[in-house]
Chain A
Amino acid sequence: MRSPSQRRVPVRAAIAVMALSGMLLTGCSSSTNEPPASDELDGLSLEELKAQALEEGSVVVYSFTSRIAAIEAAFEAEYPGIDLIGHDISATEQVARLKAESASGTTTADVAYIADAPIVIRDLVEPGILLPYVPARVADALPAEHSAPLPANRLSTKVLLYNEEANPDGPPVANLWELTEPEWNGKVVMVDPNVRGDYLDLMTEAVLRSDEFSSAYEELYGKSVQLDDGIQNAGEQWIKMLYDNGLILVDDTDAVNSAVGKMGQASPPVGFSSYSDLRDNEEEGWALQVAAGVAPASGIVFPAYLGLVAGGDHPAAARLFIDFAMGDDSETGGPGYAPLYVAGDYPTRTDIVPPDGALTLDELAAWVIDPAETITIRSDVADFLLTLE
């Protein structure tokens, strides 16, 4: 464990105004720029971690999903004597809270379970607020892209969904470019990417995959794509044409799902949403189906990270929790993973079998985003989208 002096901000006596401005000028505060001390805990075995964690007695987890409650119960059953305190906080607010806590030296959490990977990398990983810890036990089964900069235990999706009742023979489109045609005017729904980060990631990926959009265009129309004035590449061109074709923006995924999925519609729209939402079809009276195999891809797959909070009070228990949340050695990841084991979401570990009732990742044919690359142009894409409305 690091000594307290390393953690404390030197300007301790500074007046509160300074602390405040300093805090909000995130990333400039001295405490967050300290290089993480090399930590011998990373090398401990599970048993050694457990022993130390029992001494620590508890672990505080910020989680972007409410399923933390179920994971908490499972964890406490597995490790009696270690109290897991789970906070259910959205990714956006986790970022704000972790930054503020770090800057004011009031680190509260030990582990952050968090989506919005690109922002996490920029705002939490790069300043050293979140640190990676990949349990040796699972390291071999975790592909490199899912173990750094932070380990991910699960992948979620934003893919093109359609109404299976109205289109019993399969997806109504085979190519995303078709959505820019008059037939689909006003019939494509998604959450405003300027309101929700995962949709912005989807748009960003489209720009990053411009070459594939370009080929898909040629495949469909037999000619190369013409770029409008001020448009840099085929991805932007697709986005622009989609917006110009009456793209409907809504405020949350439920609105997308019910618009696309509601039964009894003569010509339902299509829309981008989570593959795992298909599990609500029966309950909600939806006929959602994924448009797997559309060119150039059906959408994106993105990670949920497990990050170790720098300077947390329960470093051993934190590692124990990450180990637990990565899943045990069974085929389904065991009780720690069970709450996340849902058709339409994907385990990152190659040795955990994806849940039944969903296409494999290969069949889904969606792009797995590289958050580190996404963040390089994400703001520019957001700006680009702003010019389209």
Chain B
Amino acid sequence: MRAEPALRGEAVRVSPGDRGKRLRSWLTNPVAVLGLVTTAVLVVLVVMPLIGLIGTTLGTDGLDAWQKVLSGRLAPNLFWEPLANSLVIGSATAIGSVLIGSFMAWLVVMTDAPFRKTIAVLATLPFALPSFALALAWETVFRNDLIGGRVGLLQDLGLAVPDWLAWGTVPISATLIAHYYSLTFTLVAAGLATVNGSLTEAGEMAGATRARVARSIALPIVLPSIISGAMLAFAEGVSNFAAPALLGLPVRFQTLSTRLYGAIATGETERGFVLALLLIAIAAMVLFASTRVVGGRRSYATITGKGGRRSAISLDRWRWPLTLLAGLIALATTILPGLVLLMSSFARRTNSLTGGFTLHFWIGESDPGFAQGQRGILLNPTVIEAIWTTIGLGLAVAVCATTLGLAIGYVITRLKRPKFLSNALGILSFLPFLFPGVALGAAFIALFGRPIGPLPALYGTFAILVIAGAAYTLPFASQSGRAAVGQIATDLEEAATMTGAGLGRRMVRVVIPLAARGLLAGAVLVFVKMIRDLSLVVLLVTPATPLLSVMTYRYASEGFAQFATAITVLIAVISISATLLARRLESAAQPWSEAT
């Protein structure tokens, strides 16, 4: 029997005369105050940009765009078909990521599979690679002669690769799954890690088969993580531009993201914003539906005041086959694209692994006969400066977003009343994903362009990049914050309340240490997302703050693909290092959970 959580906004008697008193007593609840503050922050970071976005589409051009997008002769090609494609890609990404990510997480966390640690490390890495590296890896193997130019390995070997395998839905979905399963892996593994061994043992003692234990005991406990992972993968899949652009356009496979990008790039801004709003609306509906499916139960308290040890499930004869399968998936999604990316940065010729290799793009001195005299990136002081700025920005955003995500997660899981507040926070914090970076950037210029009261104008400063970055990466931070806090049994906090500890003290001494693992995992996602993102920062960045992602773009747009690739490798290396470092910290942060 679980006790009702005590931290609800207390104000119960429903008599109209009491309203003032009710409100006052609600306001004395520090959790409620935190809820209000958090909401206010989200209003600035999410609602106001959203209002701006909507406002833009209400002018003459905007209304015209609404009409064209939703009805008339353009609608099928402009909206409906791309919508269908986006939903297919998004769903495939979500389902595929959940299946593969959960499988790997289960294998790594719950079983006695050999090389678990190695697989665990590898499985967190695909997200740290740029999505185009995975698309490129796919091309390296499967590209056929549809476009002309080079072909992939299979075609090189004389095998005819059909178009469906080289272009369109299948390769796009596969690429995105390969990229984003590491998201679900990270979240589900964090969830599974908190499954008390006695729970599964109890199931096994009761005579249930292992499969049944997995299904009926472990699954419900990690379901919230799975749903979170699925939602993030869905949103990422729907909003990803690189994969559908690279692998879809040649067969005229358009998604909402390619349409949205195209509309903005060709000056049809309002149309792009209309598409973005529709995307946001759809995602909000999907999110809403998913919350309904799990019956509002977003998490189960699995970190409780009762200790427990975990023992590995023995795989017996499945030990090696399953390990092999997981190992292959991990290698195919990390080492292969990683190598392709790395080799491309050494390739003398753009995206060609057969035209010879050179170190010039990394460490070459200026040579007028080569790459128009550009020096290798490691000799370019701007690049070196950009590395540090990028890391600084990533860290600052990770800290801010994670703090905010913790507050959101806390309010959502602890403040039961009024319900709409936590629902609203949940949905709002998910939406920034689907904002076009340009729209969000423009909104922040408007918001922080000039002084607000005593605050100075932030535009052109590092601070605005951090604020905008925190808004942009909020979905990762809030999802992980929510999962992490939700796993902490409320009575652990109540026990602290009983001793007279206030909200701040409970946060610092109880919630944060216990949520550290999940928060850290979320912070890494934020960091990685931030340091490679371009569309948002390019509008806000200043020359004083050179960033690697901007430099990639700079080189790429000038046709120096290898320089761009080399910098992408740098970004990937930083991302991977951060991911690995975080894993070390996770174990260090929670010595008690490693105890046997």
Contact = CB atoms under 8 A, between A and B. Distances in A.
Interface of A: 16-17, 19-26, 28, 65-67, 69, 85-90, 92-93, 95-97, 99-101, 103-106, 108, 116, 118-119, 122-123, 186-187, 189, 192-197, 200, 248-255, 258-262, 265, 268-269, 277, 279-280, 283-285, 378-379, 382-383, 386-387, 389
Interface residues on B, range: 35 or more
A106 B266 contact: no
Q: Nearest 9 pairs between A and B by C-beta?
A: A104-B449, A21-B55, A23-B446, A119-B267, A106-B449, A259-B149, A251-B245, A259-B148, A195-B262
21 contacts: A19-B447, A20-B49, A21-B52, A24-B443, A87-B541, A90-B557, A106-B459, A122-B267, A194-B262, A195-B262, A196-B265, A252-B556, A254-B350, A260-B148, A262-B149, A268-B149, A277-B559, A284-B350, A378-B266, A386-B77, A389-B77
Contact of B539 (A96, A193, A379): A96
Given A280-B559, A283-B348, A100 B538 contact: no
A184 B56 CA distance: 43
B442 A97 contact: yes
B73 A387 contact: yes
B213 interface: no
A108 B55 contact: no
Contact of A93 (B52, B245, B438): B438
Contacts of A20: 48-49, 51-52, 55, 443, 446-447
Contacts of B349: 283-285
Contact of B265 (A86, A99, A195, A259): A195
Contacts of A87: 541-543
B52 A88 contact: no
A371 B250 CA distance: 28
B352 A25 contact: no
Contact of A186 (B74, B146, B541, B550): B146
B450 A106 contact: yes
B115 interface: no
B240 interface: no
Contacts of A387: 73-74, 77
Prevailing SS type, chain B contact patch: helix
Given A23-B442, A187-B148, 19 more contacts: A16-B447, A20-B443, A23-B446, A25-B56, A96-B438, A106-B459, A186-B146, A195-B249, A248-B250, A251-B245, A261-B149, A262-B150, A268-B149, A269-B148, A280-B559, A283-B349, A378-B266, A382-B266, A386-B74
Given A17-B48, A260-B149, A262-B148, A101 B538 contact: no
Nearest to A379: B268
B449 A101 contact: yes
A106 B457 contact: yes
Contacts of B264: 92, 96
A93 B538 contact: yes
Contact of A254 (B74, B542, B559): B559
A141 to B, nearest CB: 27
B265 A389 contact: no
B351 A258 contact: yes
A383 B68 contact: yes
Interface string B556-567: 111101000000
A277 B457 CA distance: 42
Contact of A96 (B74, B77, B252, B441): B441
Given A24-B56, A283-B371, A106 B261 contact: no
A191 to B, nearest CB: 9
B380 to A, nearest CB: 10
Interface in B444-488: 445-447, 449-450, 452, 457, 459-460
Interface in B365-410: 370-372, 382
B464 to A, nearest CB: 11
B147 A189 contact: yes
Contact of A195 (B49, B245, B348): B245
B334 interface: no
A283 B263 CA distance: 34
B446 A19 contact: yes
A248 B147 CA distance: 7
Prevailing SS type, chain A contact patch: helix
A382 B259 CA distance: 12
Interface in B226-260: 245-246, 249-250, 252, 254, 258-259
A92 B56 CA distance: 17
B267 A95 contact: yes
B446 A24 contact: yes
A85 B73 contact: no
> Which of B263, B266, B348 has the most A CB atoms < 10 Å from its CB?
B266
B78 interface: yes
Contact of A108 (B246, B254, B459): B459
Nearest to B242: A251
B433 interface: no
A277 B350 CA distance: 13
Given A85-B543, A255-B147, A26 B265 contact: no
A259 B147 contact: yes
B345 interface: no
Nearest to A385: B77
Nearest to A260: B148
B58 to A, nearest CB: 8
A328 B372 CA distance: 22
Contacts of A265: 148-149
A90 B51 CA distance: 26
Nearest to A70: B373
A285 B550 contact: no
B442 A89 contact: no
Given A24-B53, A197-B266, A280-B559, A97 B443 contact: no
Contacts of A379: 268
A389 B48 contact: no
A108 B561 CA distance: 30
B357 interface: no
B544 to A, nearest CB: 8
Given A20-B446, A101-B449, A383 B149 contact: no
B555 interface: yes
A285 B446 contact: no
Contacts of B49: 20
B442 A105 contact: no
Contacts of A25: 55-56, 58-59
Interface in B528-544: 538-539, 541-543
Given A93-B438, A96-B441, A285-B355, A192 B249 contact: yes
A264 to B, nearest CB: 9
Nearest to A255: B147
Nearest to B75: A386
B430 interface: no
A197 B250 contact: no
Contacts of B246: 251
B73 A200 contact: no
Contacts of A284: 349-350, 352, 355
A104 B445 contact: yes
A96 B539 CA distance: 8
B147 A283 contact: no
B267 A23 contact: no
A65 B555 CA distance: 9
> Which of B68, B263, B350 has the most A CB atoms < 10 Å from its CB?
B350
